[in-house]
Structure 1
Amino acid sequence: MLDFYVLPISYAFFTFPIAAALFTLPFLIVQYRRYGYIHKYRALILYLFLLYLMNAFYLILLPLPDSIHNSPPKAKSYAQWIPFHFVSDIAKETGVRLDSPATYLHLLKERAFLQVVFNILLMVPFGMFMRHYFRTRWAVCLLCTLGLSLFFEITQVTAVFGIYDYPYRLFDVDDLMMNTAGGLFGFVFADWIGRWLPRTDKLDERTDLSVRRVSYTQRAVAFLIDWMIMVPLMAILSVLHVPFTYLCAVVGYFIVIPFITNGLTPGKWLVRIRVKGKGERVTMRELAVRYGLLYLVAGGLNVAFLRIGANSIAPVFFMLLTLALFIFNAAIAIHILRCLFNRSRRLLHESKSDTTHVITAKGESIRTRS
């Protein structure tokens, strides 16, 4: 019986790194947007929640049939609608007698009894997460647990939403009831265990975002979002035959827009950071120096190299140019690594422009120049 559960759990742990990688970017965006930073305990809880959901889904899904053209189930119906039908199943399969407590241990070997226990335990962690992290009331927990259990049962009775010819597991109202009961047990248990754990709704009480250092991860997410916008923007400008496409896009997106919005780009706005200069508002000169060094010098040299191409100049000069650009990019990479491992060091484009990043207050609006 235990082997039936070991396979799905092992698959969940093996595939968790892939799911975590796909989950990370949306997680970072939501957390930065909502809180302005990443709290390690909050991140731990959410990744554990993801791991739990994967385990739960695999447990109701696996093992899969050998072929999508599977045989119909032996049962006459695809659903079991009689509440507490598991009681009669246990009575048929076990030798337990109510008047003989010594026979109660036989229950631990009976499939019908263990199935009920499993259905209860399956949703206990869900109820705990709902109360401890999401801070829901018991009625909300009940509805969410019922909804998740119903999703599991529908997945089974529809043959994984039509992938297989026939359902290989049946819809069982008892499973629905036991799953929901397990969620409520977890909800109650979370109240007890929560006395020794940090309250998730009070994690940010002592955090002063105005003095908190902006992490390189937060800046990297903003960078990624901005360039996800910039790449199609440059493609459009190129199709329209706008001269100096790269230059126009960089100046417009990273200098003009932040000058108007006081240091914000769409990516920075989404993760709640902005560029700050010496004064209350960042100046055009500060932005020009900052992004001129970053995108017009460092980035522009690489773009120019790609535009020149191997066929535009003599092979010897092209090799020398390639070597020079490699040394230049290697120096930049070493400089970035030194800044990553030494927080007192500043990136060159920031120190020369005397700008930095700050976290914006929640709900802070874009203040444009009049």
Structure 2
Amino acid sequence: MFKFYLYPISYAFLTFPVAAMLFTLPFLIVQYRRHGYINKLRAWLLYLFLLYVMNALYLVILPLPPTRHNAPPHFDSYMQWIPFHFIQDMIRETRIVSDEPSTYWRLFQDRAFWQVALNVVLVIPFGMFMRYYFRTRWLTCLTASFSLSLFFEITQVTALYGFFDYPYRLFDVDDLIMNTLGGMAGFVLAAWISAILPRIDQLDHNVDLSTKRVSYTRRAIALILDWMLLFPLLIGAVMLHVPATYFVLTALYFIVLPYFMNGMTPGKLVVRIRISGQEGRVKLLELFIRNGLLYLGLGGLHIVFLITSIENLTITMPLILTLFLLDTWFAIHLMIRLFNHNKQLFYEQASGTRHTIS
């Protein structure tokens, strides 16, 4: 009986690292934007919730039929609409005699009993998360648990929304009842957990964002978001034959725009960080030195090299060697700074600027 459930659970754990990697970027963006920093307990709970959702979903849909063109199921109807029909199944299969307590142990050997019990257990963690992490009321938890169970049942009875020719599991109203009951049981159990763990709505109390360091991960996310916005603009400008496209747009985006946005670019705005100068608000000259060295200097040399290599098939060896040495130095410089958070990057030292949380 239980071997049937080991396959989907093991598959959920095996695929969790991939899902976690896909989940990480939006998770970090939302956490930085909403809270201004990453709380370890909050992060641990959300990744645990992701793992739970994967286990629950895999338990509902796995194992899959061997082919999309599966055979029709061996049951007469795709729907079971009689509430508490499982009681009749248990009485019939276990042959329990009501006035003979010695026969009650047969219940724990019955497939129908364990199916009902596992349907309750399946949604208990969901109810616990709803109360403890999402801080919902009982009516919201009841509605959410029922909706989750309904999603499971519809997914099954529609054969993964038409992916397979025939449903390979039926829609059972008893599953709706037991799943919803499990969600409410989890809601009740969460009261005990809430007494042990810190309150989610108080995790950010007494947190001074001004004392927290802006991590390189946070800066990298802002950089990725900025280039996701800037790169299409560069492509469009190149197609319109704008002179010195890279240098013009990069200077406007990383120097002029942050000056008017108080040290922020759109990417930095999303993750709530800004560039601060020696006297607080960053000055235009400080931005020119900082981002000019990085994007116009270091980045500009690579753009010149790229344009030269396209227009002239022969590239001078001194230029190749210069870029190789420059990239090697910057990679080593960056690695040293990654392991020594107190030291600034060269363009930060030259401009006297730093990142702060907004």
Q: TM-score, normalised by structure 2?
A: 0.97
CA distance in 2, matches of 1:236, 1:333: 31
Does structure 1 retain, via aligned residues, the 8 Å contact 2:132–2:193? no
The answer to whether 1:113 aligns with 2:106 is no
Q: Deviations over 1:246-301 (max 9, x none)?
A: 00111110111101111111100001111111224211101000101111111111
Q: Secondary structure at the match of 1:358?
A: strand
Matched with 1:158 is 158
The answer to whether 1:277 aligns with 2:277 is yes
The answer to whether 1:286 aligns with 2:312 is no
Matched with 2:336 is 338
Matched with 2:323 is 325
**AA aligned opposite 1:161:** Y
**AA aligned opposite 1:251:** A
**AA aligned opposite 2:38:** I
Instruction: State percent identity of aligned pairs.
Output: 57
Does structure 1 retain, via aligned residues, the 8 Å contact 2:8–2:55? yes
**AA aligned opposite 2:337:** C
Matched with 1:368 is none
Following superposition, the deviation at residue 115 of structure 1 comes to 0.3
Q: Secondary structure at the match of 1:102?
A: helix
CA distance in 1, matches of 2:6, 2:233: 49
Deviates more, 1:52-61 or 1:320-329: 320-329
**AA aligned opposite 2:245:** T
Q: Deviations over 1:9-43 (max 9, x none)?
A: 11111111111111111111111110011111111
CA distance in 2, matches of 1:344, 1:34: 26
Q: Deviations over 1:167-216 (max 9, x none)?
A: 11000000000000000001111111222212111111121012221111
Following superposition, the deviation at residue 95 of structure 1 comes to 2.8
Q: Are residues 158 and 143 of structure 1, via their aligned partners in 2, closer, same or farther at CA, if it must alter by over 3 Å? A: same
Deviates more, 1:210-219 or 1:232-241: 210-219
CA distance in 1, matches of 2:264, 2:98: 71
Following superposition, the deviation at residue 326 of structure 1 comes to 1.6
**AA aligned opposite 2:84:** F
Q: Secondary structure at the match of 1:11?
A: helix
Matched with 1:260 is 260
**AA aligned opposite 1:56:** A
Q: Deviations over 1:223-245 (max 9, x none)?
A: 10001111101001111111001
CA distance in 2, matches of 1:101, 1:299: 81
CA distance in 2, matches of 1:334, 1:97: 78
Report runs of 4+ in structure 1 exceeding 6 Å deviation. Answer: none
Matches within 5 A, 1:59-208: 59-208=59-208
**AA aligned opposite 1:22:** L
Q: Secondary structure at the match of 1:309?
A: helix
Matches within 5 A, 1:16-31: 16-31=16-31
CA distance in 2, matches of 1:98, 1:248: 86
CA distance in 2, matches of 1:59, 1:141: 21
CA distance in 1, matches of 2:97, 2:136: 41
Matched with 2:54 is 54
Matched with 1:305 is 305
The answer to whether 1:355 aligns with 2:353 is yes
Does structure 1 retain, via aligned residues, the 8 Å contact 2:237–2:245? yes
**AA aligned opposite 1:327:** L
Deviates more, 1:126-135 or 1:296-305: 296-305
Matched with 1:8 is 8
- Once superposed, what is the RMSD of the aligned Cα atoms? 1.3
CA distance in 1, matches of 2:155, 2:64: 12
CA distance in 1, matches of 2:245, 2:255: 15
**AA aligned opposite 1:57:** L
CA distance in 2, matches of 1:249, 1:232: 11
CA distance in 1, matches of 2:83, 2:244: 72
CA distance in 1, matches of 2:332, 2:235: 31
| Alignment: residue pair count | 358
Q: Secondary structure at the match of 1:147?
A: helix
CA distance in 1, matches of 2:321, 2:50: 46
Following superposition, the deviation at residue 96 of structure 1 comes to 2.5
Q: Deviations over 1:291-342 (max 9, x none)?
A: 0111111111112111111772645x23x42232122111111111111111
**AA aligned opposite 1:324:** T
Q: Deviations over 1:40-72 (max 9, x none)?
A: 111110001001000000000001111111111
**AA aligned opposite 1:215:** S
The answer to whether 1:231 aligns with 2:231 is yes
Q: Secondary structure at the match of 2:96?
A: coil
Does structure 1 retain, via aligned residues, the 8 Å contact 2:259–2:283? yes
Matched with 1:33 is 33
Following superposition, the deviation at residue 87 of structure 1 comes to 0.4
Following superposition, the deviation at residue 105 of structure 1 comes to 2.2
